Amino acid sequence: MGMGRSLIFKLLKRWIAWQFPQVRWITTAELAQWRSHPAQPQPLLLDARTAAEYAVSHLETAQRIDPNTPDLTALDAIAKETPLVVYCSIGYRSARVAAQLQQVGFTQVYDLEGSIFQWANEARPLFQAEQPTFKVHPYNAQWSLLLKPEYRAECQEGLSPTSPDSSPTSPN
């Protein structure tokens, strides 16, 4: 699945970029490099997944933002030039939130390419309630195949998050 996984990720990234042409991307390597220099102003990380997904794991210091109805007023106190990096499972929900953040005037918004699945697959640090972990919510059975098996958290299929604007087979 290694080669197939990277091909599927490449195709998904192209499709998401086509759906959200206005959204800028940051790679997992670029974000890791940025975070390794704490003297630089750090980006605000926004996790655009469900509460259940966020509870399993997230990037360190990330704040959850609802992917379907993001409360953008919660960010009113943040300067519009603050760098924001948004991520979800693979990048679709976060691209949608990133586009909305741009629409309300944020000038340095990035979608994390490959999102938390790619971050985990590269063995980058994950946290659960301030404690290091290495498991990620798999979203659902189909999309979990994009996560290396050792990083998939055990979740019951019936608990897969869906929303009125998505189907159970598509993480949007």
Residue 80: domain span: 2-154
Residue 166 lies in a domain: no
Closest CA to 148 of 49, 4, 20, 38: 4
Indicate the average pLDDT of the chain: 89
Residue 106 lies in a domain: yes
Taking only the tens place, the pLDDT of each residue in 50-101 is: 999 999 999 999 999 999 999 998 899 999 999 999 999 999 999 999 999 9
Residue 127 lies in a domain: yes
Residue 170 lies in a domain: no
Global model pTM greater than 0.75: yes
Residue 16 lies in a domain: yes
Residue 164 lies in a domain: no
Residue 99 lies in a domain: yes
* Number of structural domains found in the chain: 1
Q: What angle do CA 20, 119, 156 make, to 5 degrees?
A: 90
As a whole number of angstroms, the distance between CA 144 and CA 169 comes to: 11
Residue 159 lies in a domain: no
CATH number for 48: 3.40.250.10
